[in-house]
Amino acid sequence: MSTNYLFPYKTRWLGLILILVHIPVKLWWDARYPGGYDHNIPYVEGEVTPLFSPPHLFYIATTLMVLVGLFLIAFSKEKIEDEQIAQLRLDSLRWAIYLNYAILLFSLIFTQGGNSKHFLTLNIWLPLLFFILRFQWVLYRLNRSAKPE
């Protein structure tokens, strides 16, 4: 993986800030509106809920905060970016895609109705999360084995 396509190291912190800001904002929203995203929209049978209603805009904003945060964390350079780190990054990305599609196939086979919608929503950010976790774990193991005892 060419480092030309990676963000600078410091953007990792911006991504972490976006995710950490998302948590209290989401908790506040859930405490204020315990009914979920469709809290204030009167439902009339046969009508479609408005596309740019406040709950939908909040959902878009919070989802984008998490996605951009995870994207910046996942694709920012390490302090020392060499060929071994690039290989670990590529291997972690491969395993993240494998795991994500295994979960997606399992959920599509064994869920029905509204439950499958939640798995598809999770599928938006799960590959990035799997990639970050695996890459950091492998990097941690590599650094731990390289330390003199």
Could you tell me if 15 and 65 lie in one domain?
A: yes
Could you tell me if 50 and 103 lie in one domain?
A: no
Could you tell me if 69 and 118 lie in one domain?
A: no
Could you tell me if 29 and 84 lie in one domain?
A: no
In the chain, the number of structural domains is: 2
Could you tell me if 8 and 71 lie in one domain?
A: yes
Could you tell me if 93 and 73 lie in one domain?
A: no
Could you tell me if 84 and 73 lie in one domain?
A: no
Query: Could you give the C-alpha distances from 35 to 41, 78, 143, in angstroms and in order?
Result: 11, 41, 46
CA–CA gap between residue 76 and residue 22 (Å, rounded): 20
Q: pLDDT digit string (tens) for 102-135?
A: 988 888 888 777 666 677 778 888 999 999 999 9
Could you tell me if 60 and 93 lie in one domain?
A: no
Could you tell me if 96 and 107 lie in one domain?
A: yes
Could you read off the pLDDT tens digit of each residue along the chain, which spans 149 residues? 556 789 999 999 999 999 999 999 988 888 887 766 554 555 445 555 567 777 778 888 888 999 999 999 999 999 888 899 999 999 999 999 999 999 888 888 887 776 666 777 788 889 999 999 999 999 999 988 877 75
- Using left for φ > 0, alpha for ψ between -120 and 50, and beta otherwise, residue 101 falls in alpha
Domain of residue 18 covers 1-77
